[in-house]
Structure 1
Amino acid sequence: MLSSTSTVSVLGKRNTSNAITNKQLTVATEDVLLLVQKLQSSLELEVIFTHLLDHIRSLVPGCRLLYSLPESNINLPIGGPVLKHQCFYQLKAEQEQLGEIRISNSSKLTDYELSMVELCLSHLLYPLRNALLYREAIRNARQDALTGVGNRFAFSRNFEREQRLAQRYHQDLSLLVIDIDYFKRINDKYGHLAGDEVLKSVAECLKSVMRQTDMIFRYGGEEFTAILTKTDREGALVIAERIRKEVEKLTVTISGNDIKATVSVGIGSLKEAKDSQALFNQADDNLYLAKRGGRNQVR
């Protein structure tokens, strides 16, 4: 019985000739050619799996799909929650693990239905691998390689979008510009490798104290930015002070040297700015005031 604990590898390793007649296979192959075209028409995972499920539902109405790839933090349900009767497929192309797909239905799938599902999945592998490579390339293009937070390109894209959304829906939006104080001194005294470790430690500190809805980026050099959605200036001040205090507690030990760091933070609020450039300038100007005021402070 195909149940919630059933596991079937890709193509099932079953004798599919017993489940599909030659005539059925001819018809199925013609339909699958159309599916292949759809699977190759996009590099977006959700689009690919939606096409796949639409095709499988023409054979097994009402079934659902769940794709997961834990190492990439992907858990993508398509069509609704998982149902009682399930079959699992480990996806692999040329020894490369591509994750797991789970097809579920309210009733047990017949051998013919399983064979049709497996026929569809056999054409999924390379479009899926291409989509995963594309996803990784996009992620790398938007991520700072050293610190793991978003890069300047990602900041620009997200900042423009969040500013437009905030204005359209009359919501608060704040921006933090965060700069590590006397960072050049750290590089000069301890070396650039030590400076890199300080940058990574500060980035981790930022991620640990900020909310899940906040977006953090390395803007360049020793400067970071943080987009705070639905947050007014008072709320941004609370978060900025939390950042300042936590960074002040940091100690980075390199080659027996204990290195301390502090940050200065400038705040910008959309209520006081007409557009994204004015908002950034406001935060940047406040950062300059924090620097002039003695550093290790929020303005």
Structure 2
Amino acid sequence: MVSPLHSNGRAELQDDKIVSSIGDLAPKPDIRPEVLLRLSGKLQTTLELSQLLEIFFEEIQQAVLVDGISFSHNAHNLLLSYGRNSVHSASYRLQTQQDYMGDLAFHRSTRFREHELANLEGLLTTLVYPMRNALRYHEALAAAFRDPLTGAGNRVALDKTLQREIELTKRHGQQLSILMLDLDHFKLVNDDFGHSMGDKVLKEAVTCITGCIRQTDMCFRYGGEEFLVMLSNAEHAGALRIAERIRMSISSLAFSNEKGRLQVTTSIGCATLTMEDSMDSLVQRADKALYQAKHNGRNRVVCDTDDELDTPPSKSLL
């Protein structure tokens, strides 16, 4: 089912940007059968969402000239575009009875005529089910790289992503920093308040972290109550500012159950990539700074270049 946005029972342009729903008297699609057949066949060749939309954009030019398309799905944090945006647009909601599959907009420098809108709607009917399959594949793929409890990236995702970012950062001469975070005295949370409270604390901590970082940054669950935050294009001072923001956000969390009230803090170690670093050496430097933060009293941020790192921290402080 293809539902134009902002329905009012007629096919017309509203403010030259939005197409409303089609009434019984609206023009019917006038598309050659071979175009629909070719389009339908090509859309069945991939489950990659970006490839699917690119194929759709290229193939529909045989029926309607379009300058560009843009796709959005807020729940999946997806925003994709092909071609170029123009003054006029027609926007549609893609859905079946069970599934919402996002919003798709067509862009053009001249207004769409009513018969062209009818053709776009006819073409969209071939996209609905391939789009549903592509989104399900996207969900399954994302789940394979996500920690099921907190929603942060897992270790598999961390290894793949951090290695790639290090290579790109060195190639383009950019900056990259990482933060290693450990929730202080977390074992006591589980022991004194129960594992359900521990799970809640972990999830809220990730919510705090993701609320303090940029869209280009990523949070991974490193293990247990320990997390790694990758800060793309972030130099030393910027990374420390983000780390302090995270520390303050987590320290403001308060929990309670029948066993009492609980406040949580975190210790954070920070390291910035050098040209000599490998992934392992970068993580080790951040980890060393984290242990030093715990050695210094917890609930603080320590950088790997700080002077106090010359004193080996005690591992028993975990």
Normalization by structure 1: what TM-score? 0.84
Q: Do 2:29 and 2:122's aligned partners in 1 also have CA atoms closer than 8 Å? A: no
User: Alpha-carbon deviations, 1:203-243, whole Å to 9, x = none?
Assistant: 22222333343321211210011112222334333332333
Check if 1:52 corresponds to 2:56: yes
Change (3 A) 1:35 1:158: same
Query: Cα gap change, 1:208/1:110 in structure 2, threshold over 3 Å: closer, same or farther?
Result: closer
- Alpha-carbon deviation of 1:177? 0.8
Residues 273, 117 of structure 1: alpha-carbon distance in 2 compared, 3 angstrom cutoff: same
**Secondary structure of the structure 2 residue equivalent to 1:175:** strand
Matched residue of 2:181: which SS? strand
SS, match of residue 91 in structure 1: strand
One of 249, 252, 270 as aligned partner of 2:252: 249
Question: Which sits farther off after the overlay, 132-141 or 241-250?
Answer: 241-250
Matches within 5 A, 1:104-183: 104-105=107-108, 106-111=110-115, 113-183=116-186
Distance in structure 1 (CA, Å) of the matches to 2:300 and 2:26: 71
The answer for unaligned runs of 5 or more in structure 2 is 1-10, 303-318
Secondary structure of 2:243's counterpart equals helix
Contact residue 2 and residue 87 of structure 1 kept, 8 A: no
CA contact (8 A) 1:272 1:279 kept: no
Name segments (4+ residues, structure 1) moved above 4 Å: 12-16
1:215-294 equivalences under 5 Å are 215-255=218-258, 257-271=260-274, 273-294=276-297
Is the contact made by 1:175 and 1:225 (CA closer than 8 Å) also made in structure 2?
Answer: yes
- Structure 2: how far apart are the matches of 1:286 and 1:272? 19
| Alignment correspondent of 1:102 | 105
Residue 80 in structure 1 maps to residue 84 in structure 2: yes
Distance 1:82 1:257 in 2: 58
**2:10 paired with 1:7:** no
CA gap 1:104/1:238 in 2 versus in 1, 3 angstroms: closer
Structure 1 residues not aligned, in runs of 5+: none
Match of 1:8, SS? coil
Q: Is residue 224 of structure 2 the alignment partner of residue 211 of structure 1?
A: no
2: CA distance, partners of 1:221 / 1:204? 16
Residues 185/273 of structure 1: CA separation in 2 closer, same or farther (3 Å cut): farther
The size of the alignment, in residue pairs, is 288
When the two chains are superposed, the root-mean-square deviation of aligned CA atoms in Å is 2.7
Helix, strand or coil for the counterpart of 1:226? strand
SS class of match (2:174): coil
CA contact (8 A) 2:84 2:107 kept: no
The CA deviation at 1:275 is 1.0
Cα deviation code 1:171-229 (max 9, x no counterpart) = 22211111111111110011001111111222222223333433212112100111122
Instruction: Give the whole-Å Cα distance in 2 for the aligned partners of 1:31 and 1:260.
Output: 62
Give the helix-richer structure, 1 or 2: 1
Cross-structure match for 1:188: 191
In structure 2, C-alpha distance between the alignment counterparts of 1:136 and 1:177, rounded to whole Å: 27
Shift of 1:135: 1.4
Over residues 81-135 of structure 1, what are the superposed CA-to-partner deviations in whole Å (9 max), with x where a residue is unaligned?
2543x54443233543323333344133353x44543332222111110011111
Offset at residue 73 of structure 1 (A) = 3.6
Write the letter of the residue equivalent to 1:287. Answer: L
2:200 alignment partner, one of 184, 187, 197 = 197
Distance in 2 (alpha carbons) for counterparts of 1:190 and 1:101? 47
2: CA distance, partners of 1:122 / 1:14: 19
What's the offset of the Cα at 1:290?
A: 2.5
Query: Matches of 1:255 and 1:178 in 2, distance apart?
Result: 28
Q: Select between 282-291 and 86-95 the one with higher mean Cα deviation.
A: 86-95
% same residue: 36
Q: Aligned pair in 2 of structure 1 residues 139, 13: CA closer, same or farther (>3 Å)? A: farther
Instruction: Determine whether 1:36 maps to 2:49.
Output: no
